[in-house]
A and B are shown apart, each in its own frame.
Chain A
Amino acid sequence: MSEPNAVAGPSKPKGAFGGIATIGIHSDTIDKSNPRGIPYAPFVTNVDDFVGGQDAGVEGIMGSFKEMTSKYQYMEVSLQTRRKGIESKIPDIAETLKVVKFLEARRCKSLGTQPTVVPKDSNESDEEQDDEDALSDEPESEDEDDLLAEANELEASDEQLESGKVPGQKALKTLYELNDTLFAEAEVEENGQVGLWLGANTMLMYPLGEAVLLLSEKLSTAKKNLNNIKEDLEFLREQVTVMEVNFARVHNVSLSGRRLQKEGDQGKKGEHVKSLKDQD
């Protein structure tokens, strides 16, 4: 085998790939990362140059390859957890939005007004993710009951909101989920407001229109985050594949190198050597 130390590369930026020199690595994969800052796996184009350009021997290279691969895999696992979290939040938000929209449509109809139009692609940004988490971290299953119960309570207690009532509107009768398998009857006296559970033991009253906008925004943010996570997961899987290819290539070179050496030493042609002959 060649002497790895003899070929000291002109540029050996440490750190980029855990101290691996970038000779023989495709330039598209050096110092590049995806939109969320996950680095590309280095793709070895020329195995001989690459192995020759390293301070560490083949064993060392394979070791750092393994390390990188497991870093990617670790990220994959943690993203999968986040993905599951968001995936379970989205239906909750969507369902709540559906109910609020229903209440609003009902109210608008009896008042003869127009329901809120949700602007398409309202300018949400990634920074809103934290709000998003705050909104949905708490279990949301109680949302509807709370929402309805709260609406009722408020109606009775707050005179000011009492005025929000539409005269002559037929009461809205519901069966709400008291427990998993138990439903109770409730009559909702609509006053144009709903209580939204924001998590952290907080519920805020919103006019229906504002609630629709808020929930729509949360929903689209959550969907966008989910898409980003899905993209990242696809990206990570690709990087793992690239690392496996790299690993296989370096492994092959080291095997053939070792076998050729053996062949030279002993002049013996074992079966396993024969299989590699066409390569020379």
Chain B
Amino acid sequence: MRQEDESEGIEVAWEDQQRISAFSKYNTRLSSIQDELKKLQEEKELYDDLEMELELADEKEPVPYQLASTFFHLTPPQALRQLSLERRTLQKDIRRLEKRRDECVDGMKGLKIELYAKFGNQINLETDPKDD
């Protein structure tokens, strides 16, 4: 970076600096969103498995259902109701994160076009292919 700015002949203006900053912000945000999404999706799979189990369980036999640090003895139908509530919250969180993820991706796409137009091959904005 030290030599590049000056000697390569393209001056980095404030607007460019802001674009680069914004790009890096999106990039960091994106990776943390993706981590969080992955966690939530794994949780959702657990919920799905649990739902199956509960549907197969004896309706009269209470099961210990965990909320926070406490297990409540619930009958499978009660447990299923609670589960669907929690799943709805989870689903909402997932959708919210997906929306934010798309915002990041779109924002980066736009900035990439602008920055490549000005700096050409002097700038590298490619992320890991696995992130896409």
Decide if B13 is an interface residue (CB 8 Å cutoff). yes
Contact partners of B25 in chain A: CB under 8 A: 234, 237-238
Report which of A43, A148, A234, A253 forms a contact with B29, defined as CB distance below 8 A.
Answer: A234
Contact at B7–A278, with CB atoms within 8 Å? yes
Contact at A143–B5, with CB atoms within 8 Å? no
Contact partners of B58 in chain A: CB under 8 A: none
Identify the stretch in B38-46, B66-74, B101-109, B113-121 within 8 Å (CB) of chain A at 4 or more residues: B66-74
Contact partners of B69 in chain A: CB under 8 A: 95, 141, 143-145, 176-177
Give complex CA distance A58, B28 in Å: 34
> How many A residues touch B, CB cutoff 8 Å?
41
Q: Which residue of A lies closest to B32 (CB)?
A: A230
Beta-carbon contacts under 8 Å, A229-252 to B = 234, 237-238, 241-242, 244-245, 248-249, 251-252
- B24, B28, B72, B82 — most chain A CB neighbours (10 Å): B72
Contact at B21–A95, with CB atoms within 8 Å? no
Say which size band chain B's interface belongs to: 20 to 34
Contact at B68–A252, with CB atoms within 8 Å? no
Decide if A26 is an interface residue (CB 8 Å cutoff). yes
Decide if A74 is an interface residue (CB 8 Å cutoff). no
Report which of B1, B17, B28, B72 forms a contact with A248, defined as CB distance below 8 A.
Answer: B1
With A248-B5, A252-B2 already in contact, the answer to whether A144 and B14 are too (CB < 8 A) is no
Decide if A7 is an interface residue (CB 8 Å cutoff). no
Decide if A268 is an interface residue (CB 8 Å cutoff). no
Beta-carbon contacts under 8 Å, B30-87 to A = 62, 64, 67-73, 82, 85-86
Contact at B6–A252, with CB atoms within 8 Å? yes
Contact partners of A275 in chain B: CB under 8 A: 7
Q: Which residue of A lies closest to B75 (CB)?
A: A170
Contact at B14–A45, with CB atoms within 8 Å? yes
Contact at B7–A99, with CB atoms within 8 Å? no
Contact partners of A244 in chain B: CB under 8 A: 1
| Contact residues of A: prevailing secondary structure | helix
Give complex CA distance A252, B11 in Å: 13
Contact partners of B64 in chain A: CB under 8 A: 175
Q: Which residue of B lies closest to A102 (CB)?
A: B67
Decide if A14 is an interface residue (CB 8 Å cutoff). no
Known: A102-B82, A143-B68. 19 other contacts (CB 8 A): A43-B17, A95-B69, A96-B68, A99-B67, A144-B68, A148-B70, A172-B73, A174-B72, A175-B70, A175-B71, A176-B69, A177-B69, A237-B28, A241-B17, A245-B12, A251-B2, A256-B6, A275-B7, A278-B7
Question: Can you list 24 A-B pairs with a CB-CB distance of less than 8 A?
Answer: A45-B13, A45-B14, A98-B67, A101-B85, A144-B69, A145-B69, A145-B70, A172-B73, A175-B70, A183-B71, A234-B28, A238-B21, A241-B17, A241-B20, A241-B24, A242-B21, A248-B1, A248-B2, A249-B5, A251-B2, A252-B6, A256-B6, A276-B7, A279-B7
List the interface of chain A (C-beta within 8 A of B).
26, 28-29, 43, 45, 95-96, 98-99, 101-102, 105, 141, 143-145, 148, 172-177, 183, 234, 237-238, 241-242, 244-245, 248-249, 251-253, 256, 275-276, 278-279
